[in-house]
Amino acid sequence: MHPIRAVLFDLDGTLADTAGEIAFALERAFASLGLPPLPEAEVRELIGRGIASLVQRALERLGAAADPRLAVERFEAAYAETVGTTATLYPGVATSLERLAAAGLPLGVVTNKARAFSVRLLEQLGVAHRFAAVICGDDGWPKKPAADMMLAACAQLASEPAATLLVGDSANDVLAARAAGCPVWCVPYGYNEGRPAETLRADRLVAGIAEATDRVLG
């Protein structure tokens, strides 16, 4: 394995626990369409592929015949009012980002989440300033698990993919890193569509961002 010269992170389920506010926004959107809510536990299993996929699959779980485009619009309007309000960083994230930055490693975020929501969330959590690259699902590249977003982040950080670690929580993260030629470590607590982290076949499973930071810094 090449020495790690830069670190990329997935956002939802890796850096921050956002499922509660996403579920609340989805509940509000569905209520406006006369639909019942999905339990938060089920919403957690739908996070990671972007808003359109989240809403479409939620409608399918309900067996609802609502217009998906209208449902997405309602969700985006509701989420704009709730993003960053109840989300929290996972334990050790803030300190770990500070340690990595102090060691001179450029940091980035690669997320299928839309840019407006991603940037606001990072700002609300107080960590936006730590990232030299933030690549989002509506920036024009094919979403993860394609390699494009990963390669765009590497280019922005001026780091070779083989020396750029991705820390994520899902199969999409592992597949995207593999396609881009990046090493990938995964945390066990995220939103891997309800599947155990042990099934991800990441290069390493780490208990959290603090352990990942310890290993990166040697």
Kindly name the residue from 10, 12, 17, 169 that is annotated as catalytic. 10
H-helix segments, the chain: 19-32, 40-44, 51-62, 68-82, 93-102, 115-124, 148-157, 171-180, 209-217
DSSP class of 103: T
139 given a catalytic annotation? no
Rounded distance, CA 43 to CA 39, Å?
Answer: 6
Contacts by residues 171-175 (CB-CB < 8 Å, ≥ 24 positions apart): 171/145, 171/195, 171/199, 171/200, 172/48, 172/49, 172/112, 172/143, 172/144, 172/145, 173/10, 173/14, 173/144, 173/145, 173/200, 174/145, 174/200, 174/201, 174/202, 175/144, 175/145
Task: Give the number of other Cβ atoms within 10 Å of residue 133's Cβ.
Answer: 19
48 torsion bin: left (phi>0), alpha (psi -120 to 50), beta (else): left
Q: Give the up-direction half-sphere exposure of residue 187: CA atoms within 13 A in the CB hemisphere.
A: 27
Give the catalytic positions in this structure: 10
